[in-house]
Amino acid sequence: MAPELSLPAARPDPPVADSGRLQEHLAELAHFGANPEGGVSRVAFSDADVAGRGVCRAPDGGCGLEVRIDTAGNLIGRREGTDRKLPTIVVGSHTDSVPHGGNYDGDVGVMGGIEVAQQLRDRHVRTAPCT
């Protein structure tokens, strides 16, 4: 007979992404490099790409991210946990696109990461080491 798993009780209200807020952020980013076909042309390091990265910083809205841009143009947000010496969890992607690219390629990873940080802020969650 297999041993039973002992799992902690589920939280009564598990975090759920705010789809409206996420869609607003994606729609705002889609303005940068928008093309007539409904997609975007936000080629890396173009004016549209640089401006789009700027709007990615704005949705942070005080959700506790320390934001920096690396030499490749990636926007990196770090949310402090209870022990800065521990490894970080990274979520994200890119916001540049190929010419005539889609509105979600890469963007969902970036805005999804911001949504996670906003959910943690909204719920007053302080991340700590796993035991």
pTM: 0.78
Q: Residue 77: which domain range? A: 19-122
pLDDT digits 0-9 by tens, 18-34: 999 999 989 999 999 99
Domain membership flag for residue 14: no
Domain membership flag for residue 12: no
Query: Domain total for the chain?
Result: 1
pLDDT digits 0-9 by tens, 8-67: 555 667 778 899 999 998 999 999 999 998 999 999 999 999 999 888 876 555 677 888
How far apart (Å, rounded) are the C-alpha atoms in residues 103 and 129?
A: 35
How far apart (Å, rounded) are the C-alpha atoms in residues 53 and 40?
A: 14
Residue 39 β-bridge partners: none
Domain membership flag for residue 6: no
Domain membership flag for residue 47: yes
Contacts of residue 86, defined as CB under 8 A and 6 or more positions apart, other chains included, come to 129
- Closest CA relative to residue 96, chosen from 46, 25, 28: 46
Domain membership flag for residue 13: no
Domain membership flag for residue 11: no
